[in-house]
Amino acid sequence: VVTPIGSDMYSWLSDLFPFNRSLTGKGVEETLMYLQGIFPNLVIHRVATGTDAYDWKIPYEWNVATAYIENSSGIRFASYQENNLHLVGYSIPVNKLLTKEELLPHLHYLDKQPNAIPYITSYYEKNWGFCLTYDEFLQLGEGPFRVVIDSELKVGHMSYGEIFIPGTTQKEILLSTYICHPSMASNELSGPVVATALACWVQENKLKHSVRILFLPETIGSIYYISRHLKDLQRNLRAGWVLTCLGDNQALSFLPSKAGNLYVDSVSRRVLSRREENFREFDWVERGSDERQYCSPGIDLPVASVMRSKYGEYPEYHTSLDNLEFVSAEGLQTSFEIYQQLIIATEQSKFPKIRVLGEPQLSRRGLYPATSDLGTFARVVDRLSVISFMDGTLDTEQIASLCKMPVDVAEGILNELDTANLIDWV
């Protein structure tokens, strides 16, 4: 395994773009198998339709062979073969001749973005529909129209993927992304391809933290996963992020956890502000993906989200314009690097506890100048400041902040103390 670069991720994203992802079905399976081709240790789990998960049940599996609208001249519109966004997600099978009046309630378009196909689903109510550009809509002409949706809703499975790369400790980093949106590039595929690239990189680098990567159908997938693994997540999770909207190379966005002051929030703000002083921090109420489940009352996991242009904040969002042109190899590469930095920062975060009562005798460990004069005292003062806060409840960053010193100075001091066998890392 070699760590992929932006062009690899862009290439994967291009390959995955046409697959018909939804909550379930072949598009999801194909997506997971494609990613498995890149990272063979990705495990595909399948959960049967009807399985309970908290307040939910796993839905029917949905598959589509073809779908289109044909007018009286035999011209086809909104062809699923051409773009799977044309078909409303979870549309039931239809084969009917309809007047224009009968057809209209089933058509979705955006008159203000006349060249964009909107993304519409109808997961939990039996319905059907087509999405098309306003331009195409204007060319429909008069009916009757033959509507063909060759789809099936059957008892089957919901599939999700899981990569687990054990670290040297039980503490885990969670990367959660989703694989349920059809042909949309930044809001969705950027997440799985960056996550997969991160898996390749983590695999190469033995980490202290175990890294768990979940490729889930949004909402139902995370609810199912949490319902089966809550205790483990609550015990082991150090920090988690939802990976989405990572394909453009523009904004840098942070959505904090519901608590807003957890370690995951602190390390995210730290990494982002180092990268760009004016990254944009959103409020919890602007959240919109699986952090909703991870931070639900009674679940309360430390999960946040770092994004580029955030869902709902860019005009191409949830339309066919969130496409291969909207995202770029550079954007993916930069997003990958940001998450690398989040993981590396988490790897580096430490909670030191001094092993002795009273100050340790630094001089016999070479940590106090043999000859004490004023000149060398400043360095020793910093060391003693760090020691005075090593109570096991504060991490390095907090200690550095309390000591009013740069983090690298605190880290240097902790390294010295660690070498001297004076620290329990808790």
Residues in contact with a copy of itself by the rule CB under 8 A: 53-56, 88, 108, 118-125, 127, 129, 219, 222-223, 226-227, 230, 258, 283-288, 292-293, 295-299, 312, 317-318, 353-354, 356-361, 363-364, 368, 370-374, 377, 381-382, 384-385, 387-392, 402-405
Minimum CB distance to a copy of itself, residue 54 (Å):
4
Task: Yes or no: say if 320 and 116 are a contact pair by the CB < 8 Å rule.
Answer: yes
Quick one: residue 229, left, alpha or beta (phi over 0 = left, psi -120 to 50 = alpha)? alpha
Residue (287 or 308) nearer to a copy of itself, CB? 287
Minimum CB distance to a copy of itself, residue 242 (Å):
14
Burial label for 313, CB within 10 Å (0-12, 13-18, 19+), is: middle
The distance of Cα 278 from the centroid of its chain, to the nearest Å, equals 22
Minimum CB distance to a copy of itself, residue 119 (Å):
8
Minimum CB distance to a copy of itself, residue 389 (Å):
7
Residue (88 or 245) nearer to a copy of itself, CB? 88
Minimum CB distance to a copy of itself, residue 300 (Å):
9
Residue (331 or 360) nearer to a copy of itself, CB? 360
Q: What are phi and psi of 77, to 5 degrees?
A: -125, 160
Minimum CB distance to a copy of itself, residue 111 (Å):
12
Minimum CB distance to a copy of itself, residue 420 (Å):
10
Query: How does DSSP assign 387-411, residue by residue?
Result: HHT-BSSS-HHHHHHHHTS-HHHHH
What are the tokens at 226? Answer: 């949490």
Residue (194 or 295) nearer to a copy of itself, CB? 295
Residue in the block written with tokens 């009013």: 404
Do strands 280-281 and 253-255 pair parallel, antiparallel, or not at all (unpaired)? parallel
Do strands 157-165 and 61-70 pair parallel, antiparallel, or not at all (unpaired)? unpaired
Query: How does DSSP assign 31-70, residue by residue?
Result: HHHHHHHHSTTPEEEEEETT-EETTEE---EEEEEEEEEE
Minimum CB distance to a copy of itself, residue 161 (Å):
20
Residues 390, 289: Cα–Cα separation, whole Å? 37
Residue (207 or 262) nearer to a copy of itself, CB? 262
Residues near 277 by Cβ (< 8 Å), separated by ≥ 6?
none
Residue (53 or 264) nearer to a copy of itself, CB? 53
Residue (98 or 405) nearer to a copy of itself, CB? 405
Residue (117 or 197) nearer to a copy of itself, CB? 117
Task: Yes or no: say if 233 and 296 are a contact pair by the CB < 8 Å rule.
Answer: no
What are the tokens at 257? Answer: 């956890």
